[in-house]
């Protein structure tokens, strides 16, 4: 489904160059529940950004459904993200003036879904993340865990091939973080959606069925684990 082939990413500032990723290669199949782990600065977020088409590699290539990503225009990349990718952010990134329902339906509206279908799919997504009855609440009226559930519903409502989550539990206490991980794992099983998340939290790593370790921008370990 997604193939990362010998990808490097270099950031330049003034006269110094920082190698965020060095020749990373990975293959992500359908239905995976994968954690990218490593210490700060190891390149976790950079790798997720590249897989999510939010950034472009300095060298190497990323293939999504067999098609190379590089060379595509901003508009084409936006279309690709809109149709195939879902995102969950560490800081939730919900729109504060919109209700939970509106935040989730936003992702469907971008795809041109409207009317009864939009309502039905939005309510179902909110139900799946356990937020039935809280549809009208705005992010400021929800707890951190509830906000992250809204973000997960927003990512899943459009039935993407892959959901990329950058440190999804970092802003949550451990109990809430565990609940969120259990939710994501359950959704992964029920929907077959691939989840890729970055973390440096051991508890999060324990939930993954595949653990990719990064160090100084290079993959040091890629282990499949028992669920």
Task: Check: CB of residue 163 under 8 Å from CB of residue 86.
Answer: yes
Bridge partners of residue 13, in order along the sequence:
16
Out of 6, 70, 91, 174, which residue is the one contacting another protein (CB under 8 A)? 91
Burial letters for 15-54: b for 16+ Cβ neighbours within 10 Å, e otherwise?
Answer: eeeeebbbebebebeeebbbbbbbeeebbbbbbbbbbbbb
- Does the footprint of another protein cover residue 87 (CB under 8 A)? yes
- Asked if 142 touches another protein (CB under 8 A), the answer is no
DSSP-derived 3-state class of residue 217: coil
Smallest distance, another protein to C-beta of residue 226, A: 33
For another protein, which stretch binds (CB under 8 A), given 95-103, 171-179, 204-212, 218-226?
95-103
Instruction: Select 35 or 164, whichever has its Cβ closest to another protein.
Output: 164
Binding residues among 101-120 for another protein as defined by CB under 8 A: 102, 105-107, 109-110, 114
Which of 18, 68, 97, 186 lies at the binding interface for another protein (CB under 8 A)? 97
- Candidate residues 47, 146, 154, 172; the one interacting with another protein per rule CB under 8 A: 154
Q: Does 18 bind another protein (CB under 8 A)?
A: no
What string marks each residue from 164 to 193 as x (binds another protein by CB under 8 A) or -? ------------------------------
How far is residue 111 from each of residues 48, 76, 82, 170, measured CA to CA in Å? Answer: 23, 14, 7, 30
Q: Any contact of residue 83 with another protein (CB under 8 A)?
A: yes
Sheet-wide strand order for 194-199: 85-88, 162-166, 194-199, 33-37, 210-215, 218-224
Contact of 1 with 194, CB cutoff 8 Å: yes
Q: Under the criterion CB under 8 A, does residue 223 sit at the interface with another protein?
A: no
> Which residues have a Cβ under 8 Å from the Cβ of 62 and sit 6 or more positions away?
2, 3, 4, 5, 7, 50, 51, 53, 68, 69, 70
Crossing angle (nearest 10°) for helices 115-128 and 144-156:
130
Is 36 or 211 the residue whose CB approaches another protein more closely? 36
- Residue 136 as a binder of another protein (CB under 8 A): the answer is no
Q: Does 55 bind another protein (CB under 8 A)?
A: yes
- The footprint of another protein (CB under 8 A) covers 49, 52, 54-55, 74-75, 78-83, 85, 87, 89, 91, 93, 95-98, 102, 105-107, 109-110, 114, 154
């Amino acid at each position: 489904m997604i193939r990362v082939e010998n990808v490097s990413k270099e950031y330049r500032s003034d006269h110094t160059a920082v190698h965020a990723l060095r020749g990373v290669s990975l293959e992500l199949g359908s239905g995976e529940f994968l954690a990218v782990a490593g210490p700060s600065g190891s390149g976790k977020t950079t790798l997720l950004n590249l897989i999510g088409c939010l950034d472009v590699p300095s060298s190497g290539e990323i293939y999504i459904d067999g098609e190379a990503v590089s060379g595509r225009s901003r508009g084409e990349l936006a279309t690709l993200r809109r149709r195939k990718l879902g995102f969950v952010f560490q800081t939730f990134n919900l729109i504060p003036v919109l209700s939970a329902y509106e935040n989730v339906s936003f992702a469907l509206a971008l795809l041109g879904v409207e009317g009864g279908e939009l309502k039905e799919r939005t309510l179902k997504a909110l139900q799946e993340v356990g937020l039935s009855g809280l549809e009208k609440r705005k992010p400021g009226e929800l707890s951190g865990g509830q906000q992250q559930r809204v973000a997960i519903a927003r990512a899943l409502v459009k039935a993407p091939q892959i959901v990329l989550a950058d440190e999804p539990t970092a802003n949550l206490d451990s109990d809430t973080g565990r609940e969120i991980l259990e939710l994501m794992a359950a959704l992964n099983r029920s929907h077959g959606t691939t989840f890729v998340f970055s973390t440096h939290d051991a508890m999060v790593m324990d939930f993954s069925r595949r653990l990719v370790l990064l160090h100084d921008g290079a993959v040091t370990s890629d282990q499949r684990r028992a669920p």
